[in-house]
Amino acid sequence: MADGSVWLIEFYTPGCSHCRNFASAYQGIAETFHSDPESKVRVARVDCTVEKALLTRFSVQGFPSFFLVSGWDVYEFEENRTTMNLIKFAEHGHKKKKPIPFLNSPMGPMGLLQGTLIFVGTRAIGILEYLQENYGISPIISGIVICMVGVFGGMISIILLTIFSTPRQKID
């Protein structure tokens, strides 16, 4: 985003009939923006069955949902889902709206925290299943091992942050 681009993002699920019906129109929107070398609008799609952390960060309530990310500002598209409405929203319509307040924004502290917690949680469950399937370790023992590794990693992180953030005295 350092180049000044804004991102129009669709959140969808493959099983949603509304998402499937709108897919070709959204593809057309992507082609419209990506074929114009002067356009600063980029278009993306997020499969919410795979990217649960992003689903949570953006607080998606229904499918398909559309958001525009411009730097640290995030705008939610709340109009009728038509090609022209989305194009207008991405080009300049979002500027007429207020962005999601930064504290609750997907780019703000709460959004980042939510996304991180979901990411870590899904990875921990994946590790738990891996240990159970491949090594026959019970879920309770696997859970204890994962928690111990988490606590140890957290302690090491806190120690390193303290060491590197402590001001150093200059010796004259």
Residues 87 and 32 reside in one and the same domain: yes
pLDDT of res. 1: 55
Instruction: Write out the residue range of the structural domain in which residue 143 sits.
Output: 109-165
Which residue, of 45, 69, 96, is where some domain finishes? 96
| Residues 75, 43 within the same domain | yes
My answer on whether 72 and 148 are in the same domain is no
83 and 16 in a common domain: yes
Q: Within this chain, do residues 89 and 12 fall inside the same structural domain, yes or no?
A: yes
Q: For the segment 41-71, what is each residue's pLDDT rounded down to a tens digit?
A: 999 999 999 998 888 889 899 999 999 999 8
The model scores a pTM over 0.75: no
For residues 67 and 75, the answer to whether their CB atoms sit within 8 Å is: yes
Verify that 17 and 41 share a domain, yes or no. Answer: yes
Residue 44 sits in a domain whose CATH number is 3.40.30.10
Sheet of strand 65-70, all strands in order from the earlier edge strand to the far edge: 41-47, 6-12, 65-70, 73-76
Q: How far is the C-alpha of 26 from the C-alpha of 28, rounded, in Å?
A: 5
| Residue 101 belongs to some domain of the structure | no
- Dump pLDDT digits (tens) for 1-50: 556 789 999 999 999 999 999 999 999 999 999 999 889 999 999 999 99
SS (H, E, C) 94-132: HHHCCCCCCCCCCCCHHHHHHHHHHHHHHHHHHHHHHHH
Task: Say whether both 66 and 139 belong to one domain.
Answer: no
Q: Determine the pLDDT at residue 11.
A: 97
Which residue, 64, 96, 128, sits at the end of a domain?
A: 96
Q: How many domains does the chain have?
A: 2
